[in-house]
Chains A and B, each alone.
Chain A
Amino acid sequence: MARHRLLREAAGLGALALLLAAAVWRLHPGRAAWTGAVGPGEITVARAAALGDAVLWVDARPQAAYDQGHLPGALRLTEEVWETAFLPLLDRWVPGQPVIVYCDSRACRASHRVAERLRQAGVQPVSVLRGGWAAWQAAPPGDPP
């Protein structure tokens, strides 16, 4: 009897948890950051690659990650080094040139914060690379890198 009650309780709580998880999956306003949907201000690896050399890449990862490898010509810009790194980026940027910001992976938020600050500073158009560095590295043969 005790075991049956335990199983009933566990099953009930499990079902509630699954319902809650499903509700978050459907309703959370930030779901684009962790689902397959391309969110506002994002760009896929394929579309970014199609822009070719026209893109100014911005790397929003830690210094150590940047030093290990980064996209061609990418400038490192994070909120921590904004004061020293923003002006050199502005010198490199040609008005109207597409800027794409990336960080580690799909769920990384640093790139979104840097992209928003760039837009507020008048840099347009700015996009965030969907899936970040991990997606670029995992791109199929024939696509970058």
Chain B
Amino acid sequence: MAPLRWGIGGLFLVAGGAKLWDPAQFLIAVESFRLGPPPLAVVAALVIPSLELVCGAALLRGRAVGGALAWLALLLLLFLGALASAWARGLDVTCGCFGATAHIQYPWFIARDLGLLALVGWLAWGKIRRA
């Protein structure tokens, strides 16, 4: 389980760090989903990557693992909901993943986030069993 925990932790640490390095680019992505007013988009563009970075670091260190997995699962559910909503509305959105601004292909990103959610769930299940 430790290698998987490190892998997931490293992934989110890098993803969050890249977005915080250049928040303006992730703000473009958040705004492209048109889920709320601009001030809310700015808050999301700062808080989401901060959570990713903090939880990624927690998983790498093996501290507060349960809390980190809970937050990451919530974030992934949020991402999936946003993707589904944007797809249903026919929006042309940017990902903002790892700081990039490429326009996304919905099926690929939904499948990717579902896969990550499954891995996070697997880690959480392993932790519950060991508790």
A50 at the interface (CB under 8 A from B): no
Total interface residues on A, using CB and 8 Å? 30
Which of A16, A20, A30, A104 is within 8 Å of B24, CB to CB? A30
Q: Does the CB pair A10–B54 fall under 8 Å?
A: no
Q: Does the CB pair B67–A33 fall under 8 Å?
A: no
Q: Does the CB pair A14–B71 fall under 8 Å?
A: yes
Total interface residues on B, using CB and 8 Å? 28
CB of A129 to closest CB in B, whole Å = 15
Q: Does the CB pair A14–B66 fall under 8 Å?
A: no
Q: Does the CB pair B25–A14 fall under 8 Å?
A: no
- The residues in B between 1 and 36 inclusive whose CB is less than 8 angstroms from any CB of A are 20, 22-25, 27-28, 31
Which of B28, B64, B70 is within 8 Å of A105, CB to CB? B28
Q: Does the CB pair A107–B25 fall under 8 Å?
A: yes
B55 at the interface (CB under 8 A from A): yes
B88 at the interface (CB under 8 A from A): no
A25 at the interface (CB under 8 A from B): yes
Q: Does the CB pair B54–A20 fall under 8 Å?
A: yes
Stretch at the interface among B44-52, B79-87, B104-112, B114-122: B44-52
Taken together as a complex, chains A and B put the C-alpha atoms of A120 and B50 apart, in Å, by 36
Q: Does the CB pair A34–B45 fall under 8 Å?
A: yes
B interface list, Cβ under 8 A from A: 20, 22-25, 27-28, 31, 38, 42-43, 45-47, 50-51, 53-55, 58, 64-68, 70-71, 131
Interchain residue pairs with CB less than 8 A apart (10):
A7-B67, A9-B65, A10-B70, A16-B54, A17-B54, A17-B55, A17-B71, A18-B47, A18-B50, A24-B46
